[in-house]
Amino acid sequence: MTAPIALRRARGRGALSWIAQHIVLVTLAVLFLGPVALVVLTSLMSNEQALTASIIPRTWEWSNYVTVFRDVPLARWFGNSAFYATLATLFMLVSSVPAAYVLARVKFRGANVIFVAIIVAMLLPPQVTAIPVYVMWSQLHLTGTLWPLILPNLLGDAFSIFLLRQFFLTIPREYADAARIDGCTEWGVLLRVIAPMARPGIAAAAIFMFFNSWNDYYGPLLYASENEVAWPVAYGLATFRGAHGTDWSITMAITVLVMIPVVVIFFFAQRVFVEGITLTGVKG
C-alpha cells in the first residue's frame, strides 16, 4: 500500500514543479521577447502617437516602412553593409580555411608559436593596435572608406582561424589518409575531402564573420564616420536619432529592418550556429 502512495506523491510533486517551472519560463519569455514586441509595435505607430505614452498603435502606419526609405538613405546604408559583410566573409574564407587546416593537421616547427599568436590576436582588445593600423591606412589614403575593414580579411582573421581549426580537429584523420593512398594531392585532400566534411564549421565561421561585420559599429566609426556615403546601416542607425530629433516611430522602423536579415539567417542556419558557439567555448 505504501509504494503507490509514495509514487502518487512523487508524481504530484512532479506536476507541481512542472507548473512552477513553466510559470517562471513563461514570465521570463515575456520579459525577453517583450522588448522586440514593443519595438515592432512602436514602429507601426504614427509619429505623434509614438511621442505619447502608449503601447498599442491606434492606427497601423505600415507606411512608416515606406517613409523610412524616402527620408533616410537606407538603401545605400544596407548596400554598404551588404558589401562590407559579404566581401569580408569571402576574403576570410579564402585565407582562413587553408590556414586553419594546416594548424589543425600538419605538424611543423613554429606551429605552436603561430597558434599562440593567433589566440592572442583574437583576444586582445582591438584598441591596443588601432592607432598604428589607422596610420597605415591613412598613408594608403583609404580612410573614409570601408576597405580598411574588408581588406585585412584577405590575410586571415584570427577568430575564424581558431574556430575552423577547432572544427577540423573533430574530423577523423583516416579520411584524409585514405584519399592520399588513392593518389589525391594535398590540395585535393583539402578541397574534395576535408572541406565538404567541414561544411558546418565553415558555415559557422562564415555566419559569425557576416554577423560581426553587419553589426560592426567601432570599425565604421573609426574609418568611415566622416564620409556619409560609406556609412553601413548599424552606424547610420546609431547616428540617426541624434540627427533627426525625436522621430521614434521611424527610428524603431529602422531598428526592425536592421534586425531582420540577422534573424532570417539565424533561422535558416540555427543548428550550425549553435554548434559554432559551443565549439569556441566547450569542446576541444
Partner 1 sequence: MTVLENRGRRSRRPQWFILAMLGPAIAGLVIFFVYPLVASIFYSFTRFDLVSPPEFIGLRNYEYLFTKDPKVWIAAGNTLWFVVVLVPVRILTALGVAFLLVRVRAASGFWRTVFYLPALVPSVAGVVAFVFLFNPGTGPVNLILKTFGIQGPLWFNDPAWSKPSLVLLGIWVMGDIMIIFLAGLLDVPQEQYEAASLDGARSWQKGWYVTLPAISPVLVFAVVTGVIAALQYFTEAAVASTVASGKAGVGEGASAILGYPDNSLLTYTQWLYVRGFGNYQLGYASALAVLLFVVAALFLVVLMRRVKAFTPEEAS
Residues in 23-42 at the binding interface with partner 1, rule: CB under 8 A: 24-25, 28-29, 32-33, 35-36, 38-39, 42
User: Measured from the CB of residue 63, what is the shortest distance to partner 1 in angstroms?
Assistant: 20
| Closest listed residue to residue 202, CA positions, set 283, 99, 111 | 99
User: Measured from the CB of residue 94, what is the shortest distance to partner 1 in angstroms?
Assistant: 8
- Which one-letter DSSP state was computed for residue 52? S
d(CA 31, CA 178) in angstroms, rounded, equals: 53
Dihedral sign for Cα atoms in the order 139, 144, 149, 150: negative
Cα radius of gyration rounded to whole Å, the chain: 25
User: Measured from the CB of residue 131, what is the shortest distance to partner 1 in angstroms?
Assistant: 5
Site for partner 1 in 47-106 (CB under 8 A): 50-55, 95-96, 98-99, 101-106
User: Measured from the CB of residue 31, what is the shortest distance to partner 1 in angstroms?
Assistant: 8
d(CA 178, CA 276) in angstroms, rounded, equals: 27
| 3-class SS letters over 219-247 | HHHHHHCCCHHHCCHHHHHHHHHHHCCCC
Which of residues 184 and 197 has its CB atom nearest to partner 1 in the complex?
Answer: 184
Q: Which three cell numbers stand for residue 122?
A: 583574437
Stretch that binds partner 1, among 4-12, 63-71, 72-80, 113-121 (CB under 8 A): 113-121
Strand (E) or helix (H) holding 170: none
Dihedral sign for Cα atoms in the order 233, 238, 244, 246: positive
Q: Considering CB under 8 A, how many residues would be counted as binding partner 1?
A: 109
Distance of CA 127 to the CA centre of its chain: 20
For residue 117, the number of C-alpha atoms closer than 13 Å in the C-beta half-sphere is 8
User: Under the criterion CB under 8 A, does residue 10 sit at the interface with partner 1?
Assistant: no
Interhelix angle 248-268/270-281, rounded to 10 degrees, is: 80
Report the residue from 126, 178, 182, 192 that binds partner 1 according to the rule CB under 8 A.
126
User: Measured from the CB of residue 2, what is the shortest distance to partner 1 in angstroms?
Assistant: 20
Which of residues 63 and 246 has its CB atom nearest to partner 1 in the complex?
Answer: 246
Site for partner 1 in 209-248 (CB under 8 A): 211, 214-215, 217-218, 221-222, 225-226, 234-235, 237-239, 241-243, 245-246, 248
Stretch that binds partner 1, among 8-16, 72-80, 110-118, 193-201 (CB under 8 A): 110-118
Which of residues 33 and 75 has its CB atom nearest to partner 1 in the complex?
Answer: 33
Q: Which three cell numbers stand for residue 16?
A: 507541481
x/- site string to partner 1, residues 165 to 204, per CB under 8 A? xx--x---x---x--x-----xx-----------------
